[in-house]
Amino acid sequence: MRRILAITRKEFIHIMRDKRLLGVILIMPLIQLFLYAYALSFDVKHLPTATLDMDHTATSRQYIDALQQSNYFTVDNVLTSYSQVDGAFESNRDKVVVVVSSGFGNDIAAGKAGKVQVLVDGSDSTGAQLGSAYSSALSRIFGAKIAITQAEQKGYNVTSAGGLTASVRTWYNPEGVSAAYFVPGLIVVLVTMITVLQTANTLVKEKENGTYEQLIVSPISRIELMVGKIAPWAFIGALDIVVIAVVGILAFGIPFRGSVWIFGISSLLYVICTLGLGLIVSARATSVDSANQVAALVSFLPTFMLSGFVFPLSSMPAALQFLSYFYPARYFMTISRTVFLKGGSPAVLMPQVAALAVFAVIIVVLAASIYRERA
């Protein structure tokens, strides 16, 4: 333990002396947290919208006003002819164009369905899908109000009429805030980037500085050297998880409904996995530049794409879904979001924690065997 603590102390001194490195591992995660949390958002509102009213009646104006009064559309352009639609989309000024057909008001007055065409800019797939969904929902609501008004004018008692009423309630994130979905996932992404990248450089720097051979011929065993090297980064990784979680709770109002112990144990296991992965990269890399490139390739991209951070795994091809089972980030992503948003009982999360424990053992054993081969 004295030798391990000596290596750990030496590594801490190197880290504390490098002010730029301290900024990278302590300040950059917070900056990235706020950037990702605000930039990555599925909360599409105030879509820039152009209208083309070919009817010019009170009813058509009421329909356009209903769009404008919602938080989903911002009518900022009024077209006078159908030929101007292409120009509105090509200039990127508008994402939605609502065309009210001629005779809209007369059809509504006659009890017929008024014709409205909603055109969306398909180059922005998210905005197009949500714009179509929002406009369809608002049109149904507007149509229902018109139908009720007409029925009451004819003397029908609409309160006694049968029908279907759907009551929708969103659990865990009732406001539908994207930050509540992304911030727990950012813990996984940011910690992966820090631990893998920095651990991948530790022994490579020793090799480039010519001090690695001195460590090898010293009485320190390879296991002691590995433990002493990764111990400071394990502490820093744990510290980053705590800081990011606290900032997410305080700054973004993210709830924490689960067990602190389950989250702490799974975080420790995941940090061991990422540190072991960094050691494997360090064993094979010949320079700091190559270590950084390989570490970014095996850490950031799989964590971002194959963990369910942005895209649901169920919507991916079967081959990628199968490949995601071989990345620990998939399991820690599930644990993080479940603990924060849902709570999650030990029985529910135990398979994920067990998977992280298996990966931690396999990765550390693999890293140790590679160092025995290389030494």
Name the segment(s) of the chain with CATH classification 3.40.1710.10: 47-160
Rounded average pLDDT over 92-107: 84
- What is the tens place of the pLDDT at every residue in 107-126? 877 777 778 888 888 776 66
The pLDDT value given to residue 358? 94
- What is the tens place of the pLDDT at every residue in 349-362? 999 999 999 998 89
Say if CB 25 and CB 66 are below 8 A apart.
no
346-374 vs 222-252: helix axis angle to the nearest 10? 140
| Cα separations in angstroms, 246 against 26, 241, 250 | 14, 9, 6
What is the DSSP secondary structure assignment for residue 326, as one 8-state letter?
Answer: T
- Greatest mean pLDDT among 79-93, 252-266, 359-373: 252-266
N- to C-terminal Cα separation, the chain: 22
| Distance in angstroms (rounded) separating the CA atoms of residues 299 and 170 | 33
Instruction: Decide yes or no: CATH 3.30.70.2740 for domain 47-160.
Output: no
- What is the tens place of the pLDDT at every residue in 244-299? 888 888 888 888 998 999 999 999 899 988 988 888 888 777 777 788 788 888 88
Token pair recorded at residue 26: 């302590």
| Distance in angstroms (rounded) separating the CA atoms of residues 143 and 10 | 73
The pLDDT value given to residue 334? 92
Does residue 156 surpass a pLDDT of 70? no
The pLDDT value given to residue 159? 56
Question: What are φ and ψ of residue 74, in 5° steps?
Answer: -125, 105
Query: Residue 209's pLDDT band (boundaries 50, 70, 90)?
Result: low
- With tokens 């706020």, the residue in question is 34
| Distance in angstroms (rounded) separating the CA atoms of residues 140 and 175 | 23
| Distance in angstroms (rounded) separating the CA atoms of residues 157 and 148 | 9
List of residues 6+ apart from 341 with CB closer than 8 A: 172, 173, 180, 181, 184, 254, 255, 257
Say if CB 363 and CB 226 are below 8 A apart.
no
* 3-class state of residue 222 by DSSP: helix
- Of 148-152, 175-179, 344-348, 359-363, give the lowest mean pLDDT range: 148-152
| Distance in angstroms (rounded) separating the CA atoms of residues 354 and 362 | 12
Does residue 172 surpass a pLDDT of 60? yes
Question: In the chain, pLDDT over 90 holds for what percent of residues?
Answer: 11
| Distance in angstroms (rounded) separating the CA atoms of residues 58 and 100 | 12
Question: What are φ and ψ of residue 50, in 5° steps?
Answer: -110, 145
Say if CB 131 and CB 118 are below 8 A apart.
yes
Question: What are φ and ψ of residue 75, in 5° steps?
Answer: -75, 105
Helix ranges, the chain (H)? 2-17, 19-22, 28-39, 58-69, 85-90, 104-109, 125-153, 178-209, 212-217, 222-252, 260-284, 288-305, 318-324, 328-337, 346-374
